[in-house]
C-alpha cells in the first residue's frame, strides 16, 4: 500500500497553536500563534505556507503560494531532465566462442560502454558444459581483460545456476 504524500498546508488549514514565522524577504518574525501569522500574511497580500511541519514549533513562511508551487515544479522538471538513466545492455557469449566472435562482441560492448551504459556479459551453459563452468568464467575474464581500457568490473564473473554472469561499468563517465 503506497503512502500518500502529505499536502502542503496553507493559510487557514494551519491549526498549530504556535508557529515560527519567516517573512516574505526571509527575515525571522519570531514565534506566534497561527492566527496572528495568518493575519500578517493577509495584510501583506500573500499566503502563509507551512514549509517545515516536523520542526518544533512548525516553520511557516509568508509567500506567494502559486509562485512557490510553480518554482517547485520547475526545479523538479529540471532535475529529471539532467539525470542520466543508465541502461543495462547484454552481450551473450558461449563456452566455445571463437576469437573473431569475441572481437565482434567486444566491439559492441565498447559501443555500449562509450554511451555510458553498463554491460551484462552472460554465458548460458547447456549439458556437459556445466561440468566445466570454470572455463566459462575464464572466457568472461578474458573478455573483460580485452575491454579493460573502457570498462571496470562491477560484479565479477559468477556461476548462477546454468548461467555465468558478469557486469561491466564504463571506466570514465562522460564529462
pLDDT in tens, 81-116: 887 777 889 999 998 889 999 999 999 999 999 988
Q: All domains of the chain, ordered by start, with CATH?
A: 11-76 (3.10.20.80), 88-170 (3.30.110.10)
| pLDDT tens digits, one per residue of 60-72 | 888 888 888 898 8
Which pLDDT belongs to residue 173?
Answer: 55
Closest-CA residue to 151 (of 139, 160, 140, 136): 140
Cβ contacts of 120 within 8 Å, gap of 6 or more: 88, 89, 90, 91, 165, 166, 167, 168
Q: Distance (Å, rounded) from C-alpha 170 to C-alpha 70?
A: 37
pLDDT of 6 > 90? The answer is no
Report residue 115 as a C-alpha cell. 554511451
The pTM is what?
0.53
Strands 18-22, 163-170: pairing is unpaired
Please compute the mean of the pLDDT values over residues 10-19 and round it to a whole number. Answer: 83
Element (H, E) at 48: strand 47-52
Segment 157-171 mean pLDDT: 91
- At 107 the pLDDT is 94
CA 46, chain centre distance (Å): 35
DSSP class of 11: G
Q: Residues 163, 164, 168, CA angle at the centre, nearest 5°?
A: 130
Pairing relationship of beta strands 59-63 and 88-93 according to DSSP bridges: unpaired
pLDDT tens-digit profile of 19-62? 898 888 888 888 888 888 888 888 888 888 888 888 888 888 88
Amino acid at each position: 500500500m503506497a503512502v500518500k504524500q502529505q499536502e502542503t498546508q496553507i493559510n487557514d488549514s494551519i491549526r498549530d497553536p504556535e508557529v515560527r514565522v519567516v517573512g516574505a524577504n526571509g527575515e525571522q518574525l519570531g514565534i506566534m500563534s497561527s492566527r496572528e501569522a495568518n493575519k500578517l500574511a493577509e495584510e501583506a497580500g500573500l499566503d502563509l505556507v507551512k514549509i517545515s511541519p516536523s520542526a518544533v514549533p512548525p516553520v511557516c513562511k509568508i509567500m506567494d503560494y502559486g509562485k512557490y508551487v510553480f518554482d517547485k515544479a520547475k526545479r523538479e522538471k529540471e532535475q529529471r531532465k539532467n539525470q542520466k538513466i543508465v541502461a543495462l545492455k547484454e552481450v551473450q557469449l558461449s563456452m566455445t566462442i571463437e576469437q573473431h566472435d569475441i572481437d565482434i562482441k567486444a566491439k559492441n560492448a565498447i559501443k555500449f560502454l562509450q554511451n555510458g551504459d553498463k554491460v551484462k556479459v552472460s554465458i548460458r551453459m547447456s549439458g556437459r558444459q556445466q561440468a566445466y563452468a570454470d572455463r566459462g568464467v575464464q572466457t568472461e575474464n578474458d573478455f573483460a581483460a580485452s575491454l579493460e581500457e573502457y570498462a571496470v568490473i562491477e560484479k565479477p564473473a559468477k556461476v548462477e545456476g546454468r548461467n555465468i554472469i558478469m557486469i561491466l561499468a564504463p571506466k570514465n563517465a562522460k564529462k
